[in-house]
């Protein structure tokens, strides 16, 4: 079957930087705690005029330019996001119109921080089956909009960014070799936002009860996340007759440096072969793997023929892995 190959990657992060020192002035926290527990030093926060689609459009434009395509070439747009501009229409619709992708269908996928792997995998399917030849995959978030800046357990972690990748059919061994998508709703209340949906529509009471912010049992998420990370990485490698030794670069979801280090150690991947930028961006949800991929390319960390392992997990829980030949 034809593989879907990434032919252009783009990323965009808002200009405003929120450092740990800034957070020290806002809540009872300190730089040492944040760095030790999460590895995060600073993160980007969208300004009042920027919504998720604004970030997504910028990342997508860059990905299109790098793929040498024009918007009219795109046949489908797959967006991973937890923080759409509004409940509907989708970010995919807004991006489609703003970019001028006149031929493209679009969809948003809510798989929380696994939205990167979900959007990439769904996009890859359309290429593999031959249905479409040019698909735009996007992960975009303004997690700061659902962050309670009085809750020190979440506000030091969550942040804003967007990333995008153009997929086209490969005519050689390069491209997405395999992917796995998983979900397990038993963990839903470890990481969720209670307000604003059909269970608790917005009212004065839900706003006063701070129900329109992400709630997280960080410690419990941490333990399950490491196990799921390792399980899905090992499974996708084994199924393809590969081991950690074959992986040139591991690009994990950038949630927490300790999770990345613990997972890499258990999978037997030395940190020299793991891409990390959580220190500068924090947890950007569905955007994180795309943003990391873009930076890995810019830093010259990928060369033709390299085996790349991507893994992400997030609220739901939803998680997944993708394996590709660069």
**Which residues lie near ligand UT7 (CB under 6 A)?**
29, 33-34, 37-38, 113, 152-153, 156, 191, 216, 218-219, 221-222, 225, 255-256, 259, 283, 314
CB 34 → ligand UT7: shortest distance, Å? Answer: 6
Contacts of 16 (CB under 8 A, 6+ apart): 44, 45, 46, 47
Burial of 186 (0-12, 13-18, 19+ CB in 10 A): exposed
Closer CB to ligand UT7, 101 or 158, in the complex? 158
CB 40 → ligand UT7: shortest distance, Å? Answer: 9
Closer CB to ligand UT7, 96 or 288, in the complex? 288
3-state helix, strand, coil in the chain (%, to 5): 40, 25, 35
283 classed as catalytic:
yes
Closer CB to ligand UT7, 34 or 324, in the complex? 34
101 classed as catalytic:
no
Counting Cα atoms < 13 Å in the Cβ hemisphere of 116 gives 34
113 classed as catalytic:
yes
3-state SS string for 136-178: EEEEEEEHHHHCCCCCHHHHCCECEEEEEEEEEECCCCCEEEE
Which residue is at the shortest CB distance from ligand UT7? 218
CB 145 → ligand UT7: shortest distance, Å? Answer: 16
Closer CB to ligand UT7, 106 or 116, in the complex? 116
Which entry of 113, 137, 155, 232 is annotated as an active-site residue? 113
Task: Give the C-alpha distances (Å, rounded to integers) separating 6 from 98, 133, 164, 219.
Answer: 22, 12, 10, 35
CB 225 → ligand UT7: shortest distance, Å? Answer: 6
Please list the active-site residues.
113, 253, 283
């Amino acid at each position: 079957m034809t593989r879907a190959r990434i032919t252009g990657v783009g990323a965009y992060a808002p200009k405003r930087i929120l450092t740990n020192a800034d957070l020290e002035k806002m809540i009872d926290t300190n730089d040492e705690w944040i760095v030790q527990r999460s590895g995060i030093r600073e993160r980007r926060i969208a300004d009042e005029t920027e919504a998720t689609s604004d970030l997504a459009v910028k990342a997508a434009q860059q990905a299109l330019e790098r793929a040498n395509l024009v918007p009219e070439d795109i046949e489908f747009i797959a967006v991973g996001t937890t923080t759409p501009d509004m409940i509907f229409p989708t970010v995919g619709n807004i991006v489609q119109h703003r970019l001028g992708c006149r031929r493209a269908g679009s969809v948003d996928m809510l798989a929380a921080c696994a939205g990167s792997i979900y959007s990439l995998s769904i996009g890859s399917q359309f290429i593999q089956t031959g249905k479409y030849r040019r698909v735009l995959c996007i992960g975009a978030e303004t997690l700061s909009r659902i962050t309670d800046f009085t809750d020190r357990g979440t506000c030091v972690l969550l942040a804003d960014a967007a990333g995008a990748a153009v997929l086209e059919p490969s005519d050689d061994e390069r491209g997405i070799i395999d992917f796995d998508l998983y979900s397990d709703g038993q963990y839903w209340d470890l990481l969720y936002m209670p307000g604003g949906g059909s269970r608790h529509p917005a009212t004065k009471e839900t706003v006063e009860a701070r129900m329109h912010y992400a709630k997280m049992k960080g410690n419990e998420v941490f333990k399950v996340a490491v196990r799921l990370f390792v399980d899905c990485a090992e499974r996708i490698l084994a199924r393809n007759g590969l081991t950690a030794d074959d992986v040139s670069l591991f690009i994990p979801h950038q949630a927490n440096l300790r999770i990345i280090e613990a997972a890499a150690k258990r999978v037997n991947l030395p940190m020299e072969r793991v891409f990390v930028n959580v220190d500068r961006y924090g947890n950007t949800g569905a955007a994180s793997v795309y943003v990391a991929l873009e930076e890995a390319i810019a830093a010259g960390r990928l060369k033709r023929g390299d085996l790349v392992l991507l893994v992400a997990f997030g609220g739901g829980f939803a998680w997944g892995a993708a394996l590709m030949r660069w």
